[in-house]
């Protein structure tokens, strides 16, 4: 409803780049960035590289738009798009629906891209007209030459994908860049010891819940029903909006999906961020689920670390849920109908857009009062769900001496590892309570365990949040050591707030995901090793001193002294990306503190 060709838009969700499917530059940011913009403060972004994805050929059969981004993720990995905008172009673009382009741009967040974008074309015009914005489409037609790549333009990197040769893909488990053709994943799963039986199939979410997606899934389900089959796996459908929910109800898709064994959930994030009470498995039980979502990090979709989650297209999820096994390839394999006869599913086909208009569904929006000056918000001091924030303390003007290492993280550390979603979302308005999930999913390099770190004072191992609280209570400032692409995933504000609230002062990593640099606004220092191999010099029992803060300046590295327990020391350099304004945030204690200073 807000995106259109040529718009520059920010949103507080990492999947805001969905708007690139309508030719907009739509960028996911943290909540504080949005507040700044609403207050008239510019949103700053480093100039990006541009990666070109040249698409040739055309999509057909079981291959869908989701397979394009699954293939791209396999090529670039979860960090290959960091610091870049991905621009799709080429003759293959015209074979992709507008909502299909949105799916591709949406999941571009999983390669670390700042955003992704498609050139304006007739598919976008058609979508705008169908959604009541024909006037915008007509205006864009006048300026369409400005909404496509310039002739002879140069890119930092060019990758070509022939859609004629692209096969259905399924990525996972545990990371969205582990790409497999659907035809091969069963063999790989047997070799790796991944569970073959699919316990749950989940379709929908912001990534893959368009009218076309639901139609293609319903086309698969309808074939199974014609042969007397239902899903062998649990099967749920999460519409991405009230408009989609109402429209698929009206046009019969929802009922077909129910008839095959599906449960249509509310139009919300839902299981994609673990908002579900899963009871079909026990804790510690290895199992497999397939989804049409965008992320499959450990524990993300159900809070069970042993769940092997795979991401694929909605129609492949539907086919696999009917078959019940990862070894099923709908392009070649047969199912057995209720009558004992074998049959093969035909490649699904569905309308790109509803033949009549979309059904807007129920309007649940509540207008704010025109005059809010007399409004007051009362929060009970005993509330466990809401808590008024207290300002973070200002920088004391000194270097950070003898920082204790709370945890040295091994491997992937997403915002789900830093601040888990379900069942913690009920505490989103209560910083102290939600901080009890701080880094509980991160793996401690010292013992290879999650949520188990050494207390440097007592020498006992305990949960990460408890140890952080102990340090805070005793005036011990601490630091986190991270690996590569630290903080990938959601633009989750709590992942930035919690470390600061519990006494953290710096996060030092090999590299950061762009979206997690929001920690600057909370007065934390996101620092990177000038030499990534220096990560190996630091041990969890060391103490660190960060020097140079009195002369903190853009482009000027800080010095870090590593103090080992045996009395020896090593000195390394730490880089940063702070500009002058962001340095003022650090000195004030947070961006909010600085805004208050400027008002006085």
Look at residue 248 in the predicted model and tell me its pLDDT.
Answer: 97
Look at residue 324 in the predicted model and tell me its pLDDT.
Answer: 98
CA distance 306 to 287: 7
Over 174-197, what HEC string results?
CCCCCEEEHHHHHHHHHHHCCCCE
Say which residue the tokens 């060709």 belong to.
5
> How many Cα atoms are found within 13 Å in the side-chain-facing hemisphere of 74?
20
pLDDT tens by residue, 472-500: 999 999 999 999 999 988 778 899 999 99
CA distance 81 to 69: 12
User: What is the three-class DSSP state of 236?
Assistant: strand
CA distance 511 to 573: 14
Neighbours of 266 (CB within 10 A): 11
CA distance 113 to 104: 12
Mean pLDDT of the region 388-395: 95
> Which residues are paired to 319 by β-bridges?
none
Its pTM stands at: 0.89
pLDDT tens by residue, 77-98: 998 998 899 999 999 999 999 9
Mean pLDDT of the region 547-557: 97
Mean pLDDT of the region 285-294: 95
pLDDT tens by residue, 466-477: 999 999 999 999
CA distance 163 to 57: 5
User: What is the three-class DSSP state of 504?
Assistant: strand
Mean pLDDT of the region 567-589: 96
Look at residue 453 in the predicted model and tell me its pLDDT.
Answer: 98
Look at residue 118 in the predicted model and tell me its pLDDT.
Answer: 98
Looking at per-residue pLDDT, the higher value among 183 and 303 belongs to 183
Q: Which two tokens stand for residue 108?
A: 């571009």
The domain segmentation of the chain, as residue ranges, is 8-166, 170-274+281-344, 400-598
Q: How confident is the model at residue 386 (pLDDT cuts 50, 70, 90)?
A: very high
Percentage of the chain lying above the pLDDT 70 cut: 100
CA distance 18 to 108: 9
Whether the CB-CB separation of 125 and 90 falls below 8 Å is answered with no
Look at residue 38 in the predicted model and tell me its pLDDT.
Answer: 85
Listed residue (230, 225, 204, 194) closest to 315, CA to CA: 204
Architecture per CATH, domain 8-166, reads as: 3-Layer(aba) Sandwich (3.40)
Among 86-90, 101-105, 142-146, 445-449, where is mean pLDDT lowest? Answer: 142-146
Over 91-141, what HEC string results?
HHHHHCCHHHHHHHHHHHHHHCECEEECCCCHHHHHHHHHCCCHHHHHHHH
> 287: phi > 0 → left, psi -120 to 50 → alpha, else beta; which?
beta
Max CA pair span of the chain: 79
CA distance 494 to 419: 6
Neighbours of 160 (CB within 10 A): 11
Look at residue 496 in the predicted model and tell me its pLDDT.
Answer: 93
CA of residue 529 relative to chain centroid, distance:
25
Architecture per CATH, domain 170-274+281-344, reads as: 2-Layer Sandwich (3.30)
Q: How confident is the model at residue 115 (pLDDT cuts 50, 70, 90)?
A: very high
Q: How confident is the model at residue 364 (pLDDT cuts 50, 70, 90)?
A: confident
CA distance 447 to 466: 17
Listed residue (568, 482, 483, 463) closest to 524, CA to CA: 482
The contacts of residue 482 (CB under 8 Å, 6+ apart) are 409, 413, 507, 508, 509, 510
User: What is the three-class DSSP state of 597?
Assistant: helix
Look at residue 266 in the predicted model and tell me its pLDDT.
Answer: 87
What size, in residues, is the chain? 600
Mean pLDDT of the region 20-31: 92
Look at residue 242 in the predicted model and tell me its pLDDT.
Answer: 94
Percentage of the chain lying above the pLDDT 90 cut: 82
CA distance 410 to 394: 31
> 132: phi > 0 → left, psi -120 to 50 → alpha, else beta; which?
left
Q: How confident is the model at residue 297 (pLDDT cuts 50, 70, 90)?
A: confident
Q: How confident is the model at residue 270 (pLDDT cuts 50, 70, 90)?
A: confident
Listed residue (560, 555, 600, 559) closest to 582, CA to CA: 555
> Which residues are paired to 572 by β-bridges?
560
CA distance 75 to 554: 33
Q: Is the confidence at residue 518, as pLDDT, over 90? A: no
Asked if CATH classification 3.40.228.10 holds for the domain at 400-598, the reply, yes or no, is no
The contacts of residue 556 (CB under 8 Å, 6+ apart) are 548
Listed residue (83, 214, 28) closest to 528, CA to CA: 83
Question: What strand order describes the sheet that includes 115-117?
Answer: 115-117, 84-89, 49-56, 157-162
Listed residue (120, 114, 117) closest to 27, CA to CA: 114
């Amino acid at each position: 409803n807000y995106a259109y060709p040529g718009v520059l838009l920010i949103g507080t969700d990492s999947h805001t780049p969905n708007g690139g499917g309508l030719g907009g530059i739509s960028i996911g940011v943290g909540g504080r960035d949005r507040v700044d913009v609403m207050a008239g403060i510019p949103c700053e972004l480093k100039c990006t590289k541009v990666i070109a994805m040249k698409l040739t050929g055309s999509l057909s059969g079981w291959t869908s738009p989701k397979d394009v981004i699954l293939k791209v993720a396999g090529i670039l990995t979860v960090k290959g798009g960091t610091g870049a905008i991905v621009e799709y172009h080429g003759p293959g673009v015209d074979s992709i629906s507008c909502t299909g382009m949105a799916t591709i741009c949406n999941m571009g967040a999983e390669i670390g891209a700042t955003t992704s974008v498609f050139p304006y074309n007739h598919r976008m015009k058609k979508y705008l007209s169908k959604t009541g914005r024909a006037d915008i489409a007509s205006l864009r037609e006048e300026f369409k030459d400005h909404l496509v790549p310039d002739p002879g333009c140069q890119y930092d990197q060019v990758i070509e994908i022939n859609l004629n040769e692209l096969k259905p893909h399924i990525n996972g488990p545990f990371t969205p860049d582990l790409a497999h053709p659907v035809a091969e994943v069963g063999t790989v799963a047997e070799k790796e010891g991944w569970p073959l039986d699919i316990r749950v199939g989940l379709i929908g979410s912001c990534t893959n819940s368009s009218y076309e997606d639901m139609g293609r899934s319903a086309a698969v389900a309808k074939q199974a029903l014609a042969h007397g089959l239902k899903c062998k796996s649990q099967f749920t459908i999460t519409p991405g909006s009230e408009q989609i929910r109402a429209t698929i109800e009206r046009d019969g898709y929802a009922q077909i999906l129910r008839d095959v064994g599906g449960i249509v959930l509310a139009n919300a994030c839902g299981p994609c961020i673990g908002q579900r009470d899963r009871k079909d498995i026990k804790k510690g039980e290895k199992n497999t689920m397939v989804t049409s979502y965008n992320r499959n990090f450990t524990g993300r979709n159900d809070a069970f670390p042993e769940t092997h989650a795979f991401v694929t297209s909605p129609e492949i999820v539907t086919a696999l849920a009917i078959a019940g096994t990862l070894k099923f390839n709908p392009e070649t394999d047969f199912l057995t109908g209720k009558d004992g006869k074998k049959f093969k599913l035909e490649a699904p086909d569905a309308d790109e857009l509803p033949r009549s208009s979309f059904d807007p569904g129920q309007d649940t929006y509540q207008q704010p009062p025109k005059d809010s000056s007399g409004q007051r918000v009362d929060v009970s001091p005993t509330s466990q769900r809401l808590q008024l924030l207290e300002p973070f303390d200002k920088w004391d003007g000194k270097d950070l001496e003898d920082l204790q290492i709370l945890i040295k993280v091994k491997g992937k550390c997403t915002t789900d590892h830093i601040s888990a979603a379900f069942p913690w979302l009920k505490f989103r308005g209560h910083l102290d309570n939600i901080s009890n999930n701080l880094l509980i999913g991160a793996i401690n390099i010292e013992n290879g365990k999650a949520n188990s770190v050494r207390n440097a004072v007592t020498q006992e191992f305990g949960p990460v949040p408890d140890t952080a609280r102990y340090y805070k209570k005793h005036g011990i400032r601490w630091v986190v050591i991270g690996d590569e692409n630290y903080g990938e995933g959601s633009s989750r504000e709590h992942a930035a707030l919690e470390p600061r609230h519990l006494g953290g002062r710096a996060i030092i990593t090999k590299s950061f995901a762009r979206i997690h640099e929001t920690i600057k606004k909370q007065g934390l220092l996101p620092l990177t090793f000038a030499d990534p191999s220096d990560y190996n010099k630091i041990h969890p029992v060391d103490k660190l001193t960060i020097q140079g803060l009195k002369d903190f300046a853009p482009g000027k590295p800080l010095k870090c002294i590593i103090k080992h327990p045996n009395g020896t020391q090593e000195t390394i350099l730490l880089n940063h990306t702070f500009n002058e304004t962001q340095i003022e945030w650090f000195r004030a204690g947070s961006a909010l503190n600085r805004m208050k200073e400027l008002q006085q």
